Structure 1
Amino acid sequence: MNILILGSGGREYVFTEKIAESKDCQKLYVAPGNAGTATIAENVNLNPTDFKGIADFSLTKKIDMIVVGPEAPLVAGIRDYFEAESDLKKIQIIGPGKAGAELEGSKEFAKSFMHRHNIPTAAYATFEKPTLSEGISYLQTLNPPYVLKADGLAGGKGVVICDNLQTAEQSLTEMLQDEKFGEASKKVVIEEFLLGIELSVFVLTDGENYKILPAAKDYKRIGEGDTGLNTGGMGAVSPVKFADANFMDKVESKIIQPTIDGLKKDSIDYQGFIFIGLMNVGGEPYVIEYNVRMGDPETQAVLPRLKSDLLSIFRSMNDKNLDQASFEISDNTAATVVLVAGGYPESYEKGKVIKGLKDVANAKVYHAGTSTKENEIVTSGGRVLAITGIGDNLEIALKNAYAGANKVCWDDIYYRKDIGQDLLALDGL
């Protein structure tokens, strides 16, 4: 099979590595890829939302499957584009169509979907610029902290949590009136704050059947102790002990099954990943958000634990035979530490030479914001690398991850030193 992977981050690097292991993978391309994917596959200078360019390339190279990494092409309707053309619809797309992608493309749509299908989630209300004053009045009915979410895509940075009413009112004004997140915050969803422990659950579905991937916990804030600005993710751990069998049974019966059934009831033929952001509130699961692709950096902690052939799993979805696919998960623990450019998630410099990559021994190095310049690997994004350690338990996995992270350096490197420490503290209780 000839495979094209869309995206350039750490998630896409993992897809590249896992698919390249398959005996059925003949030729593998990544668009646009990064310095790491270039060592495994062939990078292609295509924008993931350039559907015509992707279509032309796919026909020329006789592509059999396109694996869509990021959300933007899905929300923009890449699946619909391919299915509408007779010479393109035979290409299997891993990712939902535009209707299903609205679960991530619109927070309001997702909340309405949950409400309609009795899926547990926080109370909410949606406001636009003309209803700003009503939004401020609604905030005054809630208890702090306050959760404000841009309705549309904002690169993982459209959620603002405010500790006091004054800051919440100011943030709502900035989002609606001052268009802080541009088009994404034309609408803002205000949610009740849920107090609990957050985790991510990943589901792969062919529209009829589904497989539940390992759960993970990610670390979104830039600062240690979960302080500072939200980022795309500073680390992840899989599995998480507080998501035990009893809790996951509740997740499946109260959230996953109603989600799959709800998509069918709404006549949405959903094929691809569903990333369910959850809060464990006193042992009960509540949905914080849906994403319509794998998470990043959770992918770097989840997929290394998959022992089965990923490409074979994807192929089984084409004929809605996912239930028959081999799906073996390792009992090991994986811990991922994300290395970022100084200044991220705000302004940062690019082009810094990365050293020490070959010195990492007992951990996996996943490239994200990297490129090649004058035969050297340099930084080209905010989240530059993810280092994943694997071990029999969390302590060993973290030790391996940080030993690897300590070998890598560039001017102005930064990473959190406390990934997983909260979970180790829970183990000690």
Structure 2
Amino acid sequence: MKVLVVGNGGREHALAWKIGMSPRVSQVFVAPGNAGTGVDATNVPIAADDIPGLVNFARQESIDLTVIGPEVSLVAGLVDALEAAGLRAFGPSAAAAELEGSKVFCKNLLKAADIPTADYQTFRTGDDAARFIKDRYPEENCEVPVVVKADGLAAGKGVIVCSTREEALDAIDRITRQREFGEAGNELIIEDRLIGQEASILAITDGNAIVMLPAAQDHKPAYDGDKGPNTGGMGAYCPTPIVDEKMIEMIQENIIVPTVHAMKRNRRPFKGVLYAGLMITSTGPKVLEYNVRFGDPECQPLLMRLKSDIMDILEAVADGRLIDIDPPEWDERPSICVVMASEGYPGDYVKGREISGLNDAAKLKDVKVFHAGTKLTQGSVQTNGGRVLGVTALGNSISNAKLQAYTAVKQIRWPGAWCRKDISDKAL
């Protein structure tokens, strides 16, 4: 069978790599792909948001299943367009994808379904939001533990964690007046800041049955010790000891199942990956946000550990028969993904810098270098994004996996390359 993976990041490289291992798959296409997917699959020069182009390609090539990676494509309705053309797809409809596409919709659904989350207020104008902050915190130098969020999609960067009144007002200004996140800032949320450790819980669902995946922990802030601005994710590891089997069961019962039921009641039945970003607080897990696709970089360490044929899962979801398949099998060893980024990320950065050492890193045992922001130019692999590579490794322990991943990182070079040095230290 033929499979089309949509996207050009590290998540899509990991998906194409794992799908290509299935004995049932004869060819994997990636649209538009990157330098890494060009090695493990066949790249197609169609943008991830070119819905007519993707549908036409899938029809012409008789694609048996399209797997959509990025949230932009899902929110824009790629699954709907494929299914309307009689083609199978893995991912939620545009209506269901609003769970990620609108933080206001998500928070309102959580509240209506009595799913644990932070208290919040929504605002349509910066003036109203600023007035709320000034009324609630009248003293200029007082502590203001809030999180200000742009409503729409902002590539993981539209969430600003604040500690002071000045920071909160500045965040509101950046979102609503400076329009730092464009139309994503047409509405915003101000919510109470939760205290604890973050964890990522991914579940696969066809709208009825649910398969829980091992817990992972992402590292959103740019710098060591969780300092600096938020990014799309600077690394992840799986599993995370802060979420044990008992907590997984509690999260499934109190968060995932009620969310699936609430979406069905809203006539937006959900199928695909339901990714809950959680804060593990002293009173239990609470939902920070939902994503409607595999996380990036969480997807990379997850798929490194997956021993089952991923096509069994993807097809079962697309066909609505997830209840019929066996639970997936996982490698007992933990895995770690370290993101190597371009100088300047998450701000402005330079593209087109030549990357060396990829072959040396690939020779290391239990290491896979997933490409994210790369391109192939006249035979050389060059940087083409902020997050460039996801260096992923398995190990007999978390510390061993970390050592193996950073050993591979040291093999890879380009001008301005950098990474966090503390991925997985929370587990140690």
TM-score above 0.5, yes or no: yes
Give the secondary structure class of the aligned counterpart of 1:264.
helix
Taking a change above 3 Å as real, the CA distance of residues 244 and 411 of structure 1, as seen in their structure-2 partners, is same
Report what 2:378 is aligned to.
374
1:114 corresponds in structure 2 to 110
Residue 364 of structure 1 aligns with which residue? 368
Question: Which of these residues, 414, 422, 429, is aligned with residue 426 of structure 2?
Answer: 422
Matched, 1:384 2:388: yes
| C-alpha distance in 1 between matches for 2:136 and 2:407 | 45
* C-alpha contact 2:55 2:81 (8 A) present in aligned 1: no
SS in structure 2 of the partner of residue 80 of structure 1: helix
Shift of 1:116: 0.8
Output the amino acid matched with 2:98.
E
What code does the residue aligned with 1:381 have? G
Which residue does the alignment assign to 1:400?
A: 404
Q: Note closer, same or farther for the CA distance 1:391–1:133 as it changes in structure 2 (3 Å cut).
A: closer
Residue 137 of structure 2 corresponds to residue 140 of structure 1: yes
List per-residue Cα deviations over 1:110-130 (Å, max 9, x = no partner).
001101111000000011226
Unaligned 5+ segments in structure 1 are 425-429
Aligned residue-pair number? 420
Query: Can you list the C-alpha shifts for 1:127-165, whole angstroms capped at 9, x where unaligned?
Result: 122624443346528963220000000011000011211
**C-alpha distance in 2 between matches for 1:283 and 1:140:** 25
Do 2:130 and 2:169's aligned partners in 1 also have CA atoms closer than 8 Å?
Answer: no
Deviations 1:203-256 (A, max 9, x none): 111111111111100111111111111111111011011101222121111101
What is the match of residue 21 of structure 2? 21
Map 1:14-413; keep pairs closer than 5 Å. Answer: 14-84=14-84, 88-89=85-86, 91-129=87-125, 131-137=128-134, 140=137, 144-282=144-282, 284-326=284-326, 327-360=328-361, 361-362=364-365, 363-413=367-417
After superposing the two structures, state which structure 1 stretch, 240-249 or 291-300, moved more: 240-249
Shift in alpha-carbon separation, 1:393–1:370, aligned structure 2, 3 A: same
Give the conservation status (yes or no) of the 8 Å contact 1:132–1:176: no
Shift of 1:323: 2.0
Letter of the 1:265 counterpart = R
The 1-side partners of 2:237 and 2:83 are apart by 37
* Partner SS for 1:125: strand
Q: Which whole-Å CA distance do the structure 2 matches of 1:279 and 1:192 have between them? A: 12
**Which ranges in structure 2 are unaligned for 5 or more consecutive residues?**
none
Q: Kindly report the root-mean-square deviation, in angstroms, between the aligned alpha carbons of the 2 structures.
A: 1.4
Q: Distance in 2 between matches of 1:57 and 1:245?
A: 42
The residue identity in structure 2 corresponding to 1:131 is D
1:349-387, CA deviations, whole angstroms, 9 ceiling, x for partnerless residues?
A: 111111111111132111111111111111111111111
Deviation (angstroms), 1:260: 1.3
TM-score of the aligned structures, taking structure 2 as reference length: 0.95
SS at 1:104 equivalent: helix
Question: C-alpha distance in 1, partners of 2:182/2:153?
Answer: 10
Moved over 6 A (4+): none
Distance 1:256 1:162 in 2: 28
Aligned counterparts of 1:423 and 1:378: Cα–Cα separation in 2: 33
Letter in 1 for 2:412: V
Secondary structure at the counterpart of residue 418 of structure 1: coil
Indicate conservation of the 8 Å contact 1:6/1:70, yes or no. yes
Task: State percent identity of aligned pairs.
Answer: 40
Displacement of 1:35 in angstroms is 0.5
Normalised TM-score (structure 1): 0.95
Q: SS at the partner of 2:144?
A: coil
- Give the deviation of 1:270 after TM superposition: 1.4
Distance 1:292 1:315 in 2: 17
Partner secondary structure for residue 30 of structure 1? strand
CA contact (8 A) 1:250 1:284 kept: no
Q: Kindly provide the amino acid, as one letter, of the partner of residue 413 in structure 2.
A: C
